[in-house]
């Protein structure tokens, strides 16, 4: 049965919408950063770096608004978990934006190194995998979809496997020819940044499962099994 939303309900919905806005800004940052690196586009890299401050401000604002709601409304159960998730996911997204800036900084550091010593094939493929994780994890949170969120653990494993493959390949290329070191090391940095972004997106997915079910660290058992 339809009911009128009160001010508190509207505030919760607005928090999720603002997380959506933040995610959209961060997603654009990541896409632009990767484009700047692959195309060695210095102007685009500089734009990414300049775009980080608004993201920091929005994340800080979300955290304060969530804390205020907790203080005033004293929510319980799923509402409290949602507000805790908003604060945590805001932090995860802000950190991804920082990695986008790191990618852009690497682009700037390569501005005088010339054309790529090898075609960039697997790196864009890894970026596409991470982009897919980004979309999936955020959409799962908006829809309160724990089942989709649980898929992020397998998605992250695919990213990790590609990271290990690229690490080995690039290390061998740099050992074979010292002329490859500058660009090879830069690509290694980007590969590592993408792998870490994948980890942050898994954290977003874990918070989605937490909001929906109350379960914390839903992927812990599987990861412990892989380490044995």
Instruction: Let me know: does 165 contact 122? Beta carbons within 8 Å.
Output: yes
The total number of structural domains that make up the chain: 1
Instruction: Report the pLDDT value the prediction gives residue 5, as an integer from 0 to 100.
Output: 63
User: Considering the domain boundaries, does residue 76 fall inside one?
Assistant: yes
User: Considering the domain boundaries, does residue 53 fall inside one?
Assistant: yes
pTM over 0.85: yes
Q: Which of 119, 107, 137 is nearest to 173 (CA)?
A: 119
Q: Which of 57, 64, 54 is nearest to 86 (CA)?
A: 64
Q: 77: how many CB neighbours lie within 10 A of its CB?
A: 8
Question: What CATH number is attached to the domain comprising 137?
Answer: 1.20.58.220
User: Considering the domain boundaries, does residue 181 fall inside one?
Assistant: yes
User: Considering the domain boundaries, does residue 1 fall inside one?
Assistant: no
User: Considering the domain boundaries, does residue 16 fall inside one?
Assistant: yes
Instruction: Let me know: does 40 contact 104? Beta carbons within 8 Å.
Output: no
Who's near 218: CB < 8 A, 6+ residues apart? Answer: 150, 206, 209, 210
pLDDT values of the chain reduced to their tens digit, one per residue, 228 residues: 455 568 888 899 999 999 999 999 999 999 999 999 999 999 999 999 999 999 999 999 999 999 999 999 898 899 999 999 999 999 999 999 999 999 999 999 998 778 898 889 999 999 999 999 999 999 999 999 999 999 999 999 999 999 999 999 999 999 999 999 999 999 999 999 999 999 999 999 999 999 999 998 888 755 444 443
Instruction: Report the pLDDT value the prediction gives residue 174, as an integer from 0 to 100.
Output: 94
User: Considering the domain boundaries, does residue 133 fall inside one?
Assistant: yes
DSSP state of 112: T
Instruction: Report the pLDDT value the prediction gives residue 221, as an integer from 0 to 100.
Output: 59
Instruction: Report the pLDDT value the prediction gives residue 227, as an integer from 0 to 100.
Output: 43
User: Considering the domain boundaries, does residue 2 fall inside one?
Assistant: no
Residue 45, domain extent: 7-227
User: Considering the domain boundaries, does residue 62 fall inside one?
Assistant: yes
Q: What is the dihedral of CA 31, 20, 95, 145, to 10 degrees?
A: -100
């Amino acid at each position: 049965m339809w009911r009128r939303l009160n001010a508190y309900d509207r505030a919760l919905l607005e928090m999720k919408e603002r997380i959506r806005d933040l995610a959209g800004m961060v997603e654009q940052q990541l896409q632009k950063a990767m484009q700047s690196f692959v195309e060695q586009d210095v102007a685009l890299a500089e734009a990414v770096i300049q775009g980080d401050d608004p993201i920091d401000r929005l994340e800080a604002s979300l955290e304060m608004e969530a804390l205020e709601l907790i203080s005033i409304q004293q929510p319980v159960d799923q509402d409290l978990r949602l507000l805790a998730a908003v604060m945590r996911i805001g932090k995860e997204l802000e950190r991804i934006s920082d990695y986008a800036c790191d990618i852009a900084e690497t682009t700037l550091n390569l501005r005088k190194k010339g054309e790529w010593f090898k075609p960039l094939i697997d790196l864009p493929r890894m970026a596409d995998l991470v982009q897919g994780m980004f979309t999936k994890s955020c959409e799962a949170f908006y829809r309160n979809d724990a089942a989709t969120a649980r898929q992020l653990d397998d998605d992250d494993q695919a990213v990790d496997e590609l990271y290990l493959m690229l690490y080995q390949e690039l290390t061998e290329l740099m050992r074979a020819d010292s002329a490859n070191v500058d660009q090879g090391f830069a690509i290694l940095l980007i590969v590592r940044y993408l792998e870490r972004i994948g980890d942050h997106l898994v954290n977003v997915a874990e918070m989605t499962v937490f909001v929906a079910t109350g379960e914390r660290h839903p992927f812990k058992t599987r990861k412990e099994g892989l380490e044995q």
